[in-house]
Amino acid sequence: MYLYNSLSHKKELFIPNSPDQVKMYTCGPTVYHYAHIGNLRTYIMEDVLEKALRYQGYPVKRVMNITDVGHLASDADTGEDKMLKGAKRENKSVMEIAQFYTDAFFADCEKLNIKRPEVVEPATACIPEFIRIVQGLLEKGFAYIAGGNVYFDTSKLEKYYVFNDHDEEDLAVGVREGVEEDPNKRNRNDFVLWFTKSKFEDQALKWDSPWGVGYPGWHIECSGISMKHLGEDLDIHAGGIDNAFPHHTNEIAQSESYLGHKWCNYWFHVHHLNTDTGKMSKSKGEFLTVSLLERKGYDPMAYRLFCLQSHYRRNLVFSWENLDNAVVAYDKLIAKIAALQPGGDVEEEALAALRERFGKALDADLNTSLAVTAVYDVLKAKCSDDTKLAALAEFDTVLSLDLLSAAEKLRARQAQEAAQAADPRIDALVAQRTAAKKSRDFATADRIRDELKAQGIEIIDTPQGTKWRKV
């Protein structure tokens, strides 16, 4: 499988450290609000990556953190803790907020068929790990204490900007814009590993440490949690592209300085979901959630398909019109699958050819839109319907679009509708009611409606005439 590696800026053949276990780490959500569908684009594509690796035969161990402390409103170590902001907004405790939005996040993931990673670890459960790493960095001379906080000293590194071809000045400005300089920092890119002093003294969660009572910086979380569950090396680290700098850059700086060797081989970054006014973000207040899509009548699977139809390394523009197009595509796809007639044999040779096309799409830097095309190719192929169903079942272990179960539901609905359409007794009663209404005999019309209701039949009056359905 070829994957684009942000570290080398090119597509590379994926070779794990050990074929027995691919170690994958994913930056988890900051649980101060609902995840928006932009966040969930990233989790959908990471989910496809994990499933594609499994499809290729690799056992994957995936770890994800839950950021419930230390993520400040600004990436430059200033501003209030996002969790505290959330707690104030809702008049709840930080832990209540964390629990509520962690549950909400996994409920959204379930609706989108995003598998739960093997390990999900809240940052607040790993304070001793973070302290150990910070201590190690101080001992090795990569960190210093100033104004009560512990900082990572980026001047001790040979190379700090690992991901970007950008100009260092540009990057620094990008982070710093509108942000006050922290006078304790020796170098402008230094970042806080452990806070005991901040402008916001009302930080709710604090722990004892060798440097005083305080709390960890956000970046140290991912290094600590990854090392706790995956050891000293990592095959793939994934996250949204906005995390590449400074978050992942700082993760690499502190992890490799602490360990004394290379930490992670492949960096997988998912580009953003944008609206026509720019990047979708939680802090902008109004944002789109899976629940909102559902309230508007959208099946979360249509959103998943919408994401899969574009490559993860391209920005994706969300609009209702684009989502409507995905709904049409999804419904058509499911209708075609529902029309397949099983009962024959699986033709192994034909299945192998279909499989090859699908595998090639995944191998080409997780080209999910080509993988979706491979699904359409299955439906067009000249082979038995059983072969097609076998291929679709297999591909859906990666795509997770509910291809077969949604088709099954559609078939059941179609069968019910057909059965209903052919019930002359009910048709006759409905016709009697229509006639009664026409002759203004409302008592009879109401009696028939009640009679049908008692039998579980609902009458629906539409401009095209009266219809009925079983409820």
Whichever of 273 and 457 has its CB closer to ligand AMP, that residue is 273
- The residues, any chain, with a CB within 8 Å of residue 122's CB and separated by 6 or more, are 65, 66, 68, 98, 102
The string of DSSP codes covering 234-272 is: EEEEEEEGGGIIIIIHHHHHHHHHHHSS--EEEEEEEPP
Q: 22-41: which residues touch Zn ion (CB under 5 A)?
A: 27
Whichever of 39 and 250 has its CB closer to ligand AMP, that residue is 39
280: contact with ligand AMP by CB under 6 A: yes
- Angle between the N-to-C axes of helices 127-139 and 218-230, in degrees from 0 to 180, rounded to the nearest 10: 100
Q: 30-59: which residues touch ligand AMP (CB under 6 A)?
A: 30, 38-39, 41-42
70: contact with ligand AMP by CB under 6 A: no
- Interface residue with ligand AMP among 214, 240, 300, 359 (CB under 6 A) is 240
Site map (CB under 6 A) of ligand AMP, residues 198-237, x = contact: ----------------------------------------
Whichever of 48 and 334 has its CB closer to ligand AMP, that residue is 48
Q: Please choose which of Zn ion, ligand AMP, none residue 222 contacts, taking the beta carbon within 5 to 8 angstroms, the exact cut-off set by kind.
A: Zn ion
347 phi/psi in degrees, rounded to 5 = -95, 110
Q: Please choose which of ligand AMP, Zn ion, none residue 214 contacts, taking the beta carbon within 5 to 8 angstroms, the exact cut-off set by kind.
A: none
The minimum distance between CB 274 and ligand AMP, in angstroms, equals 7
What is the distance between the alpha carbons of residues 435 and 431, in angstroms, rounded to a whole number?
A: 6
Closest to 251 measured CA to CA, from 263, 265, 235: 263
Q: 216-245: which residues touch Zn ion (CB under 5 A)?
A: 222
Closest to 234 measured CA to CA, from 246, 242, 226: 226
The minimum distance between CB 76 and ligand AMP, in angstroms, equals 16
313: tokens are 């390394």
- Report in angstroms the alpha-carbon separations of 69 from 31, 80, 192, 278, 315: 9, 11, 13, 27, 29
311: contact with ligand AMP by CB under 6 A: no
239: contact with ligand AMP by CB under 6 A: yes
Total number of residues shown for the chain: 471
314: contact with ligand AMP by CB under 6 A: no
Strand partners of residue 457: 470
Closest to 125 measured CA to CA, from 24, 229, 26, 198: 229
The minimum distance between CB 262 and Zn ion, in angstroms, equals 18
Query: Is the separation of the CB atoms in 22 and 52 below 8 Å?
Result: no
Q: Which residue is nearest to ligand AMP (CB)?
A: 240
**Site size toward ligand AMP, by CB under 6 A:** 19
The site for Zn ion (CB under 5 A) is made up of: 27, 222
The site for ligand AMP (CB under 6 A) is made up of: 27, 29-30, 38-39, 41-42, 67, 239-240, 242-243, 270, 272-273, 279-282
